[in-house]
Amino acid sequence: MHEQTTAMTDVILEAARKAREETSGEPEPHLVGKVDWPIQCTVGPGLEGAIAAESKIGYVNGAKGWLVYRGYDIFDLAAHSTYEEVCHLLLIGSLPGAAELDAFKNRLNGYLLLNKTMRMLMGFPVETMNAMGALRLGTNLMRQEFTYRDREEGRPATDDAIGADEDSIAMETAPGGGAEATFRFGEKNNSAACRPTLQDACGMDACLHLIAGVSTITAAIARVHQGHMAIEPDPGISHAANFLYMMTGRKPTPLEERIMDVALILHADHGMNASTFAAMVVASTLSDVYFSVGSGIGALNGPLHGGANEQVVVSLEEIGGVGNVKAWVDAAMKGKRKIMGFGHRVYKAYDPRARILGPLAAELARENAAVRPLYETAHALEEEVLSRMGAEKKLFPNVDFYSGIVYSSLGIPREMFTPIFAVSRVAGWTARVQEYLTNNRIFRPRAVYTGEFNKRYVPVEERR
């Protein structure tokens, strides 16, 4: 292994040691393993606390700051694995042997070149489009290239599918559900929608097509935004190296490749986060994985989710230096403004991904004078926020706090930070959609109606 990448592994293992030491006293997790449905839980706004599905794919323990992909600790995966291995792990369920990994990479690389998609995408004014918007459009065009879903023979069979609009049951039948309201909730047969054929828009090939394609499209958008032409992929190098190559036109150094690989591993999956849930909701209607991923991209775009990494750098630049941190935090707290890159619905301990990206950003800043001021401001901001809100509000840096600095050190423009999140998270979206579809039930929560009743209709000319 390259000397600098070995040093990176040491940084990650040190972060792992600190994490274990600091959280050993936290309570053991509950709500893992087999559960009996219905589950008793308290649900809050934003579906806080709600349990929407069972999953074997990944686990987040917010109290301890654990992140686990199919039983493997994120620190071990970041230190020793690769993004391709992690994709195999998430989608297929196990870490591959050498031959399996080769076959998997070949299958993935087979989808990197998106001639038709690229031709269609370049017909749009990508240079003036928001990068996430262009990416979402690109995945839709991939659907056009790959699937026959819109033809009659490509449509999913809905006979066995389970779906219901529960609010309407009472209107369609006697209150409480008469004999007509016989939705077959008990029979969870898998529909014929997911046959693993090339025309199957939610099978494994579609997932690999998307994992490969999102990287190709993202890199092409970055190129076009910088006034260059898109570059064809090089399937002979790793996913991380190829992504950087397609974005910059330059083969990355071993260190750059490893940094990108670790970033991709860290962002690949994260429980029922907003974009994963959005992707699953769309899939649960027996739509397809292309539309699911499009919805995931839409949800990821927001500043409360994936868009936070960009906003962190905006804030750091606005602060403008270590000396201004205290006054900036004072003003933010006084104005009750959220500080981007801090806080998490689930983590009430230090986010393990930030534990890795923080020290990594520190190492990179040591070598790179251009990003050093950004890192120093970030570090001072972390100390200030932890000392003022860490203990009381359990506010710690999240994955987005240091990722922007890491990407900046690779020379990646800010507007690409959130699309890079999608380049990685597409693995989690597709894996979870696949898993959910094996036992699908349409998502349909309810709202508590707090509006009025019995209002009299007033014709428009009589309204004031």
Query: Residue 142 or 406: which CB sits closer to ligand COA?
Result: 406
Q: Which amino acid type is present at position 272?
A: M
Tell me, residue by residue from 375 to 404, as one string, x for binding to ligand COA by CB under 6 A and - for no binding.
------------------x-x--xxx----
Size of the site for ligand COA (CB under 6 A): 17
Neighbouring-strand partners of residue 44: 48
Q: Which amino acid type is present at position 237?
A: I
Are 288 and 201 in contact, with CB atoms under 8 Å apart? yes
Are 223 and 246 in contact, with CB atoms under 8 Å apart? yes
- Verify binding: residue 342, ligand COA, rule CB under 6 A: yes
Q: CA quadruple 356, 414, 115, 197: dihedral positive or negative?
A: positive
Please select the residue that binds ligand COA; options are 339, 357, 406, 431, rule is CB under 6 A: 339
Query: Residue 20 or 345: which CB sits closer to ligand COA?
Result: 345
Q: Which amino acid type is present at position 134?
A: A
Q: How far is the CB of 65 from ligand COA (least distance, A)?
A: 13
**Which of these ranges, 146-154, 258-266, 343-351, 429-437, lies near ligand COA under the rule CB under 6 A?**
343-351
Tokens 């994490």, residue located = 19
Please select the residue that binds ligand COA; options are 7, 31, 39, 46, rule is CB under 6 A: 46
**Cβ atoms within 10 Å, residue 453:** 5
Query: Residue 251 or 338: which CB sits closer to ligand COA?
Result: 338
Segment 289 to 328, residues that bind ligand COA, using CB under 6 A: 304-305, 308
Half-sphere exposure of 284 (CA within 13 A, CB side): 22
127 secondary structure, DSSP code: G
- Verify binding: residue 345, ligand COA, rule CB under 6 A: yes
Query: Residue 230 or 268: which CB sits closer to ligand COA?
Result: 268
Q: How far is the CB of 19 from ligand COA (least distance, A)?
A: 17
Cα 38–chain centre separation: 28
- Verify binding: residue 250, ligand COA, rule CB under 6 A: no
Query: Residue 110 or 445: which CB sits closer to ligand COA?
Result: 445
Residues ≥6 apart with Cβ < 8 Å to 348: 62, 63, 394
Segment 399 to 458, residues that bind ligand COA, using CB under 6 A: 399-400
Please select the residue that binds ligand COA; options are 149, 344, 355, 379, rule is CB under 6 A: 344
Query: Residue 225 or 344: which CB sits closer to ligand COA?
Result: 344
Query: For the chain, what is the total number of helices (H) and then of strands (E)?
Result: 19, 3
- Verify binding: residue 282, ligand COA, rule CB under 6 A: no
Q: How far is the CB of 207 from ligand COA (least distance, A)?
A: 24
Q: How far is the CB of 312 from ligand COA (least distance, A)?
A: 7
Q: How far is the CB of 211 from ligand COA (least distance, A)?
A: 21
Q: How far is the CB of 254 from ligand COA (least distance, A)?
A: 29
Q: Alpha-carbon distance 431 to 289, whole Å?
A: 10
Q: CA quadruple 226, 227, 233, 237: dihedral positive or negative?
A: negative
Segment 174 to 203, residues that bind ligand COA, using CB under 6 A: none
Cα 197–chain centre separation: 26
Segment 353 to 372, residues that bind ligand COA, using CB under 6 A: none
Instruction: Extract the tokens encoding 335.
Output: 């104005």
Please select the residue that binds ligand COA; options are 221, 340, 381, 406, rule is CB under 6 A: 340
Query: Residue 194 or 339: which CB sits closer to ligand COA?
Result: 339
Q: Which residue is nearest to ligand COA (CB)?
A: 343
**Residue of 113, 295, 121 lying closest to 221 (CA atoms):** 121
Q: How far is the CB of 399 from ligand COA (least distance, A)?
A: 5
Q: Which amino acid type is present at position 374?
A: L
Q: How far is the CB of 62 from ligand COA (least distance, A)?
A: 10
Q: Alpha-carbon distance 420 to 122, whole Å?
A: 20
**Which of these ranges, 92-100, 187-195, 222-230, 339-347, lies near ligand COA under the rule CB under 6 A?**
339-347
**Residue of 114, 417, 420, 414 lying closest to 261 (CA atoms):** 420
Are 426 and 211 in contact, with CB atoms under 8 Å apart? yes
- Verify binding: residue 80, ligand COA, rule CB under 6 A: no
Are 460 and 82 in contact, with CB atoms under 8 Å apart? no
Q: How far is the CB of 337 from ligand COA (least distance, A)?
A: 7
Q: Alpha-carbon distance 39 to 241, whole Å?
A: 44
Residues serving a catalytic function are 344, 400
Neighbouring-strand partners of residue 342: 397
Binding site for ligand COA (CB under 6 A): 46, 304-305, 308, 338-345, 393, 395, 398-400
